[in-house]
């Protein structure tokens, strides 16, 4: 029997729940999955490849399809850092680069390095984000962060009914005082009716939940060696990190 190579494992805390998981670096078979996905332009195929890699590399059982977008991004960035290396080569498109006097402005790609170990979860408002929304003094709801499938539905929403359907999918619990209603135990039409009964001010609280969701971010400084242009670039989301 051929020898087996010991593979190290690392701890990772899931941003949305603060649960502790262990993961291993991805191997040649996972790198093959990633390379095949990167050759195409279909973002859904890339996301599915990333989810498959996470599924393979997390040691414990985990429902990857149910993970929020920022959970997926954070886990994959940590996986990539431990598997291939923590330095990522990116570029910034600088429009309006001007060198010598009289030269016409040009567009220039400025290469820069990003240390994946500096990537963190960023909160729009302060240092935290609550998935609990208080609608009235005694009625509120517990939200679940949308996964990539729900985010796609959200971006493709064309009508108010579409928006209500997306919001309905993200409400996990509705409570009134000590009484708790799990939305999975109720018809989707009943949840939709509840949402449509809200005032604009109350619905705005739900909208804020989505707008202020945590995201994976890092900041890097870029500098053009031709015109001395300097800018702090904010890198965020899976498309920025691995475009």
pLDDT tens string 45-61: 888 889 999 999 999 99
- At residue 126, the pLDDT reads 64
- At residue 70, the pLDDT reads 93
* C-alpha closest to that of 89 among 112, 107, 109, 121: 112
- At residue 226, the pLDDT reads 82
- At residue 243, the pLDDT reads 54
Please, where are the H alpha helices in 39-187? 43-57, 69-83, 148-155, 160-170
Helix (H) or strand (E) holding 112, with range, is strand 106-115
Percentage of the residues of the chain whose pLDDT score is greater than 90 = 56
Exposed/middle/buried for residue 146 (C-beta within 10 Å: 0-12, 13-18, 19+): buried
Percentage of the residues of the chain whose pLDDT score is greater than 70 = 95
Q: pLDDT at residue 228 above 90?
A: no
Interatomic CA distance for residues 232 and 221, integer angstroms: 4
The pTM of the full predicted model, rounded to 2 decimals, is 0.84
């Amino acid at each position: 029997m051929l020898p087996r190579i010991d593979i190290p494992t690392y701890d990772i805390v899931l941003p949305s729940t603060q649960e502790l998981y262990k993961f291993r670096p991805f191997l040649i078979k996972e790198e093959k999955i990633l390379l095949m996905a990167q050759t195409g332009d279909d973002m859904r195929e890339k996301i599915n490849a990333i989810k498959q890699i996470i599924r393979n590399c997390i040691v414990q059982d985990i429902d990857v399809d149910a993970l929020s977008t920022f959970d997926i991004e954070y886990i994959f960035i940590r996986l990539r850092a431990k598997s291939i290396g923590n330095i990522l080569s990116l570029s910034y498109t600088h429009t309006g680069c001007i060198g010598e006097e009289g030269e016409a402005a040009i567009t220039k790609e400025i290469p820069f390095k990003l240390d994946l170990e500096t990537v963190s979860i960023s909160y729009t408002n302060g240092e935290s984000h609550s998935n609990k929304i208080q609608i009235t003094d005694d009625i509120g709801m517990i939200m679940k962060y949308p996964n990539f499938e729900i985010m796609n539905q959200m971006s493709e929403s064309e009508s108010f009914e579409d928006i209500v359907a997306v919001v309905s999918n993200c409400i996990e619990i509705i409570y009134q005082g000590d009484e708790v209603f799990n939305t999975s135990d109720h018809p989707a039409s009943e949840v939709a009716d509840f949402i449509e009964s809200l005032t604009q001010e109350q619905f705005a609280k739900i909208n804020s939940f989505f707008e202020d969701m945590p995201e994976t971010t890092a900041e890097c400084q870029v500098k053009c060696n031709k015109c001395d242009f300097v800018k702090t670039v904010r890198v965020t989301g899976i498309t920025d990190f691995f475009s």
